[in-house]
Amino acid sequence: MVWTLVVLFAISAILLIISILKSNRVAKEEHNQIDMIHISTMKEINALQESIRNIEIDMEVVTKEAGISLTSEEKRLKREILDLYKRNYSIESIAKMKEVTENEIEQLLAPFQKIMEEGRAAANEN
């Protein structure tokens, strides 16, 4: 009876040690997978940041070549107005939101409306 208990206790101790070793191995594998995901995410973030920097530089070059000089406030206003227009806000509601006249909104959107209407016409031809 005593030998049986000793053998059972020894077997349980061995199984406990094996279980701990396997769980450590699994934890290391999971940690490695998390590290790989983190690395790939960081690479994607760096690539996106590089793309954004390139777009900003391209935009600066184009505005300099075109001779357009806008203040950051004017750029922000145009960007917000165009964003609202592309999200199908009416000119009246954009004017109310931005507290400017409808005529000013129409003037700011005029170059973009022609481009958008041409795109819609081409899409509707099919």
| Residue ranges per structural domain of the chain | 1-69, 70-126
pLDDT in tens, the chain (126 residues): 889 999 999 999 999 999 999 999 999 999 999 999 999 999 999 999 999 999 989 888 888 888 777 788 888 888 899 899 999 999 899 999 989 888 998 888 888 776 555 555 555 555
**37, amino acid identity:** I
Closest CA to 83 of 66, 108, 63: 108
